Amino acid sequence: MFTFMLAAGSYVAPALLGSPGSRWFTEIIYNWFFEGGDWNRGAAYALVLLVLCLAVVLITLRLFRVNLTDVAK
C-alpha cells in the first residue's frame, strides 16, 4: 500500500526513468500547473488522482477486513 501511494504521487522517478515520450499522470498534472498555467484543469485532475488513491486504499482495507481505526493505532 505504501509503495502504491508513493508511486501515485511521484513525479521525479517517472520523469527520470521514463522515456522522453512517456506521459505519466503525475507529469501531466505538473505540466498543467507549472508549464501551461492551467490551474483549474490541473486542480481537477489532481482531485481525480486523490479520489482514485483513496478508493484503492479503502478497497484494500475492505479486502483484508481491516478497519481504519486499527490502522491508525
Q: Quote the pLDDT of residue 39.
A: 87
pLDDT, one tens digit per residue, over 43-57 is 888 888 889 888 988
Q: What is the largest CA-CA distance in the chain?
A: 43
More confident site: 10 or 54 = 54
Q: Give the sign of the dihedral formed by CA 20, CA 21, CA 22, CA 27.
A: positive
Cell numbers standing for residue 19: 522515456
Q: How confident is the model at residue 4 (pLDDT cuts 50, 70, 90)?
A: low
